[in-house]
């Protein structure tokens, strides 16, 4: 683990959400007592600070969320300081601020405040909840689901289980309305980091249990939108019946059935035939689930703890198919309500169907890992905590560690095919010489930052070449695109290609396509800086250019290029 990059002072404080008798607050600005000083370790160009899980920001860092740490232990073992993100104080929830205007947002996502909070324990599983594929459900199931949502919408407006209150759960956790416990200057954001999967798993878990209790069915499970399979790529029929409580009028009318989900969608409908869309979709899924995720951070997202800025870096599915599909469903407007904007997406029943598939993909990815490490063992991740209201309207505190076994959480998914798993894309041109003949500048001489208002091509040197199989198994070669600065209120997207000769931005079904970055709009507006990492080892094998000293990287803006700035590009090696 990387050591702390700053000097810190230590004081004591208290919090209503820490049950132990004392804990430690590390404060870089407000106290001069008991100094602890460490330096970040950085070595050479072939190893990067990206191989650590992140950097600690020069803000207040709250200790004690995962256990009691004494000051003496901190001094003797400062690199092991625990700073897991803590469940927020609901009494300090705000409307959030439009950072462009410094005015409060015109929406209030804050939940009801309860004085009693209990630490949640997973109940014994006596009956498994069954989550079916949405395109395969029976009429009986649809009727049951509609009844449950109807009853949820009929609950009193101030009941935390009410449909709109449940929608606000997502809004509050993603719209910068909660202060980080221990640092009022920093907010909580559960997207674009390693909190993405576990937080949403808890969200679905309680939402599902609330619906099941309302219809007195302990086996009721949410359906999953099987958009990674051609048979399930169209919007599920149960959600488009106007008389149904599952219906939402705020959708892109061009994308209603039988339109096929476009996981390469860029905000405008393009004349791409269905066959090409499906082929692109399968390549997108292969990249997100197989090619680009040899390391945990690349699938889960980057480390995000107490004391650090939001948006450190999203994982593959989050920044790709997940984000794109949000915008594909939402209204064809700049704000994209309901599904196409984080503040309002919980008002769309299809959101839960969409995220149930994301949750299913997490389960599949862990199974594909085999004997490899499936999860972070870092206590900063495992001990991170959130607050939810359960099916009895009780406010409960939950931890990431309890999400790692879905069987213990009491649900299972219907088994369906995963055609993308055998869809490794072939190269359009093997042994391409474009990196030696291009007029594109070298990254060493290029000017960064650069605005992505046009296609940007740059030659990136490879610190290592002709790597052995053992080398590749030990360390993944990764393309890092960093300092990605965007306005959080806007949908932005760009695609990344390696040694691409045909320059067809609509054809992603080829080995040259490395991946993408996309962002679902937020209600709030702020400038965010983040990064992405793209796996290169398998891609370079398929292109047969493993001996090349440089590769040509093409960044192709697909949406909001004027609002995207790239800070830099490099290659690293990470285990």
- Tokens representing residue 359 in the block: 């949750």
| Matching residue, tokens 């935390």 | 160
Q: Does 255 carry a binding-site annotation? A: no
Instruction: Give alpha helix (H) positions in 61-126.
Output: 71-76
Catalytic residue among 90, 355, 494, 517: 355
Q: What are the structure tokens assigned to 473, written together?
A: 């198994």
**Is the backbone peptide bond immediately before 338 cis, with ω within 30 degrees of 0?**
yes
191 annotated to bind ligand: yes
Q: Which of 23, 53, 135, 191 is catalytic?
A: 191
Taking the C-alpha atoms of residue 552 and residue 436, their distance in angstroms, rounded to an integer, is 9
Q: Sort 416 into a burial class: Cβ within 10 Å, 0-12 / 13-18 / 19+.
A: middle
Catalytic site includes residue 517: no
Where do the H-state alpha helices sit in 274-393?
274-286, 296-300, 316-317, 323-329, 349-368, 379-382
CA separation for the pair 568, 563 (Å, rounded): 16
Handedness of CA 563, 568, 569, 575 (dihedral sign): negative
Burial class (CB in 10 A: 0-12, 13-18, 19+), 97: middle
Q: Which of 170, 195, 354, 522 is catalytic?
A: 170
Total residue count of the chain as it appears in this document: 575
CB-based contacts of 242, cutoff 8 Å, min separation 6: none
Among 234, 208, 240, residue whose Cα is nearest residue 144? 208
Known active-site residue 135: no
Nearest residue to 479 via CA among 368, 393, 572, 351: 572
Distance in angstroms (rounded) separating the CA atoms of residues 424 and 509: 9
Is 23 catalytic? The answer is no
* Distance between CA atoms of residues 293 and 90, nearest Å: 35
Closest to 359 in 3D by CA, of 532, 225, 170, 235: 225
326 is in an annotated binding site: yes
Query: Is 354 annotated to bind ligand?
Result: no
Q: 53, 195, 322, 522: which is the annotated catalytic residue?
A: 322
Token pair listed for 129:
């909840």
Q: From the candidates 135, 255, 326, 522, which is the catalytic residue?
A: 326
Q: Per the annotation, does 322 bind a ligand?
A: yes
Q: Is 191 a catalytic residue?
A: yes
Could you confirm whether 355 is annotated as catalytic?
Answer: yes
**φ, ψ dihedrals at 457, nearest 5°:** -120, 135
> CA 146 to CA 242: how far, in whole Å?
12
Dihedral sign (CA 183, 187, 189, 190): positive
Dist CA 79 CA 77 (whole Å): 6
Residue 51, both tokens: 């191989």
Residues annotated within the binding site are: 170, 191, 200, 322, 326, 355
Provide the annotated active-site residues.
170, 191, 200, 322, 326, 342, 355
Residues annotated within the binding site for Cu cation are: 170, 191, 200, 322, 326, 355
């Amino acid at each position: 683990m990387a050591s702390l990059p700053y000097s810190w002072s230590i004081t004591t404080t208290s919090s209503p959400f820490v049950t132990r008798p004392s804990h430690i607050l590390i404060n870089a600005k407000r106290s001069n007592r008991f100094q602890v000083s460490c330096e970040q370790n950085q070595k050479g160009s072939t190893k990067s600070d990206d191989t650590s899980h992140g950097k600690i920001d020069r803000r207040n860092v709250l200790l004690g969320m995962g256990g009691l740490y004494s000051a003496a232990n901190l001094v003797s073992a400062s690199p092991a300081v625990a700073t897991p993100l803590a469940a927020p104080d609901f009494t300090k929830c705000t409307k959030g601020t439009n950072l462009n205007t410094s005015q409060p947002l015109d929406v209030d996502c804050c939940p009801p405040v309860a004085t009693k909070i209990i630490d949640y324990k997973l109940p014994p599983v006596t009956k498994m909840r069954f989550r079916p594929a949405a395109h395969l459900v029976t009429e009986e199931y649809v009727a049951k689901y509609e009844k449950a949502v109807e009853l949820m919408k009929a609950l009193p407006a101030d009941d935390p289980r009410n449909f709109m209150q449940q929608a606000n759960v997502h809004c509050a956790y993603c719209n910068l309305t909660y202060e980080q416990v221990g640092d009022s200057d920093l907010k909580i954001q559960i997207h674009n980091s390693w909190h993405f999967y576990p937080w949403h798993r808890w969200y679905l878990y309680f939402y599902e249990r609330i619906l099941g209790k309302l219809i007195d069915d302990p086996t009721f499970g949410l359906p999953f939108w099987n958009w990674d399979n051609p048979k399930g790529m169209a919007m599920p029929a149960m959600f488009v019946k106007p008389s149904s409580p599952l219906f939402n009028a705020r959708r892109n009318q061009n994308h209603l059935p039988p339109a096929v989900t476009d996981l390469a969608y860029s905000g405008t409908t393009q004349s791409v035939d269905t066959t090409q869309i499906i082929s692109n979709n399968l390549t997108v899924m292969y990249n997100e689930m197989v090619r680009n995720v040899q390391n945990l951070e690349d699938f889960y997202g980057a480390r995000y703890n107490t004391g650090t800025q939001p948006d450190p870096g999203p994982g593959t599915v989050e920044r790709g198919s997940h984000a794109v599909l949000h915008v594909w469903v939402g209204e064809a407007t700049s704000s994209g309500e309901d599904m196409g904007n984080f503040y309002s997406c919980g008002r769309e029943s299809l959101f839960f169907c969409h995220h149930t598939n994301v949750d299913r993909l997490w389960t599949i990815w862990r199974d594909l890992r085999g004997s490899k490490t499936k999860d972070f063992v870092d206590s900063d991740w495992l001990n991170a905590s959130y607050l939810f209201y359960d099916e009895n309207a009780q406010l409960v505190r939950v931890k990431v560690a309890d999400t790692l076994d879905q069987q213990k959480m009491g649900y299972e998914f219907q088994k369906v095919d995963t055609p993308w798993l055998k869809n490794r894309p072939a190269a359009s041109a093997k042994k391409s010489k474009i990196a030696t003949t291009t007029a594109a500048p070298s990254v060493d001489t290029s000017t960064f930052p650069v605005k992505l208002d046009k296609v940007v091509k740059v030659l990136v040197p490879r610190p290592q070449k002709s790597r052995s199989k053992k080398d590749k198994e030990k360390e993944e070669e990764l393309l890092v695109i960093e300092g990605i600065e965007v306005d959080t209120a806007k949908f932005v997207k760009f695609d990344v290609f390696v040694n691409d000769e045909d320059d067809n931005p609509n054809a992603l079904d080829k080995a040259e396509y490395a991946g993408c970055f996309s962002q679902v709009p937020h209600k709030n507006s702020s400038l965010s800086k983040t990064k992405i990492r793209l796996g290169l080892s398998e891609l370079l094998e398929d292109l047969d250019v493993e001996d090349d000293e440089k590769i040509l990287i093409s960044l192709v803006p697909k949406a909001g290029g004027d609002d995207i700035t790239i800070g830099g590009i490099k290659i690293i090696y990470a285990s």
